[in-house]
Amino acid sequence: VKQCIQSFVYGVNTPSRWGTQAPFTNITLDWTVPEDMVNMPALVGGKEMDFTYGECKKEMDMVNKAFIEIMIEGDYQGRGFQYPIPTYSITKDFDWSDTENNRLLFTMTAKYGTPYFSNYINSDMKPSDVRSMCCRLRLDLRELRKKGGGYFGSGESTGSIGVVTINLPRISYLSNTKEEFYQMLDHYMDIAARSLDCKRKVISRLMDQGMYPYTKRYLGTFQNHFSTIGLVGMNECLENAKWFDGGNITTEAGNRLAEEILKHMRTRLSDYQERYGALFNLEATPAESTTYRFAKHDVEEFKDIKTASLNGGKPYYTNSSHLPVNYTDDIFKALEMEDNLQVLYTSGTVFHAFLGEKLPDWKSAASLVKKIAYNFKLPYFTLSPTYSVCQDHGYLSGEHFTCPHCGKEAEVYSRITGYYRPVKNWNDGKVSEFNSRKTYTPQELFGRETPASSIQSTADKGEIASTPCSCVPTMHSHTHRNILVT
């Protein structure tokens, strides 16, 4: 079993597509047998067996153990594997006891930050309701039924047609009043919705014509797929608003306005569902390069526009509605301030707990994961320790551009968006973000109470760049060319 899983892990980390990149791979692994499968006859080779999945816990543990052991071992130089990104469901019946697999799971978390955790402790959803289709795409199947009028969504048949990301800071900068801001936001959301509807029609027609034979065989239809609209720079949106003097997203007034904007976008998406007869959702876009691209173009055109960069660093915008990366080193303060915003996304969203170094032991990682799951409603989170790799000495905890043992150059690894990459390979904007980032140090994570209230009561003081498509008109207005990106 371990040999088979090892072949799988090495296979998905082999560059095999355009740009010599490994395919972006995410898998969801259950820790216990899901309730909806406990009494279901197991399938082997497509045939029903005389035993149920509920009787296969031993085999589940075996597969989980083999997978985690391989991920902990890393490659021959001690690097963690980028893919697959595993997602584990934290449910109320999750066994937190000192078992072999728990030690392995949270050792992997403490060392490499590999897994994502889906939080079902504070949610009325079940693991069977939500499937993680990539590193961020949380598919709320009950949202499907609610928005689709009783429609039943199958986890194996859901996904996203595409994502269009909206440049909120530029819209805010160009608007003189709150009303004008919402008018511009609606305008660009309308364009995004039309472009996604156009894409849906084109690829559906191509599949019907036999151009996607494998997709047709295993998926059959795109009707269950979402048209996804995302955003970047909520924090800078508030800072650039001439019509708002309540500070940035860390203030009470700023947090309220951010929540209002997200709810407005959700309402707009509901309207699109009725208009186009298709599913729409709102995503906290990963925006690995988009946060830099948008900010770079905006600064070139508007010298006084505010970005998230500090001390003359390369410009970038804060991801989605996240806090400024240099705002706090208190993880629970950050969690409380983002909790009410994270739950408003109906597609992908994630909270990254950036750690300066490896956690002391597996119990520390388990304790932190448990505390987050039980005290906050955000649906998806990671623990993301920084680590380094020396060619001669392998894994090094923390940030070391030079190996402390031999003095040779070392690679520093951190999570750029959904996955780990060497910092030296990041784009200039993300490097600027990394240099500004405050991390949560292991010594500060434990023994603290969750703050009763973290939001400050007083203020502290868009381009259309779209994937070429013959049915979407190109927009040439210099003012409006940086609002959307697909």
Supply the pLDDT for residue 96: 93
Please return the burial class of 358, using the count of CB atoms within 10 Å of its CB with bins 0-12, 13-18 and 19+: buried
pLDDT tens per residue, range 431-441:
999 999 998 87
Contacts of 59 (CB under 8 A, 6+ apart): none
Supply the pLDDT for residue 31: 87
For residue 131, pLDDT beyond 70: no
Q: Which long-range contacts (CB under 8 A, 24 or more apart) does 414-418 make?
A: 414/354, 414/384, 414/386, 415/113, 415/352, 415/354, 415/382, 415/384, 416/288, 417/135, 417/286, 417/287, 417/288, 417/319, 418/24, 418/85, 418/134, 418/135, 418/136, 418/286, 418/350
Report d(CA 7, CA 30) in Å as an integer. 21
pLDDT tens per residue, range 233-265:
999 999 999 999 999 999 999 999 999 999 999
- Distances from the Cα of 398 to the Cαs of 75, 113, 358, 417, 441, in angstroms? 18, 12, 7, 18, 10
Report d(CA 354, CA 438) in Å as an integer. 8
Residue 130 or 167, more confident: 167
What average pLDDT score do residues 51-68 get? 94
What average pLDDT score do residues 186-213 get? 97
- Find out whether 280 and 229 touch, Cβ atoms under 8 Å: yes
- Find out whether 273 and 358 touch, Cβ atoms under 8 Å: no
CA 470 from centre of chain = 30
256: left (phi over 0), alpha (psi -120 to 50) or beta: alpha
What average pLDDT score do residues 190-205 get? 97
Report d(CA 48, CA 40) in Å as an integer. 9
What average pLDDT score do residues 411-424 get? 88
Supply the pLDDT for residue 478: 35
Supply the pLDDT for residue 480: 44
H or E segment and range at residue 464: strand 464-465
Supply the pLDDT for residue 33: 86
Report d(CA 338, CA 336) in Å as an integer. 6
For residue 18, pLDDT beyond 70: no
For residue 420, pLDDT beyond 50: yes
Which residues is 48 bridged to in the sheet? 43
Using pLDDT thresholds of 50, 70 and 90, give the confidence band for residue 462.
very low
For residue 428, pLDDT beyond 60: yes
What average pLDDT score do residues 20-44 get? 86
User: Of the ranges 17-21, 126-130, 167-171, which is most confident?
Assistant: 167-171
Q: What are phi and psi of 144, to 5 degrees?
A: -60, -50
Using pLDDT thresholds of 50, 70 and 90, give the confidence band for residue 342.
very high
Using pLDDT thresholds of 50, 70 and 90, give the confidence band for residue 479.
very low
For residue 29, pLDDT beyond 90: no
Supply the pLDDT for residue 93: 84
Supply the pLDDT for residue 199: 97
Residue 128 or 301, more confident: 301
Identify residue 297 by its one-letter amino acid code.
H
Query: What's the token pair of residue 172?
Result: 């805010």
Q: What are phi and psi of 249, to 5 degrees?
A: -70, -10
Instruction: Quote the pTM value.
Output: 0.85
- Distances from the Cα of 408 to the Cαs of 315, 323, 411, in angstroms? 31, 35, 10
Using pLDDT thresholds of 50, 70 and 90, give the confidence band for residue 163.
very high
For residue 397, pLDDT beyond 60: yes
Please return the burial class of 51, using the count of CB atoms within 10 Å of its CB with bins 0-12, 13-18 and 19+: exposed
Q: What integer best gives the mean pLDDT of the chain?
A: 84
Supply the pLDDT for residue 446: 57
Please return the burial class of 62, using the count of CB atoms within 10 Å of its CB with bins 0-12, 13-18 and 19+: middle
Supply the pLDDT for residue 406: 93
- Distances from the Cα of 379 to the Cαs of 267, 404, 417, in angstroms? 20, 38, 17
Domains of the chain: 137-326+456-486 (3.20.70.20)
With H, G, I as helix, E, B as strand and everything else as coil, classify residue 161: strand
For residue 288, pLDDT beyond 90: no
Query: What's the token pair of residue 273?
Result: 């569902």
Please return the burial class of 309, using the count of CB atoms within 10 Å of its CB with bins 0-12, 13-18 and 19+: buried
Which residues is 227 bridged to in the sheet? 162, 280
Longest Cα–Cα distance in the chain: 70
R_g of the chain computed on alpha carbons: 23
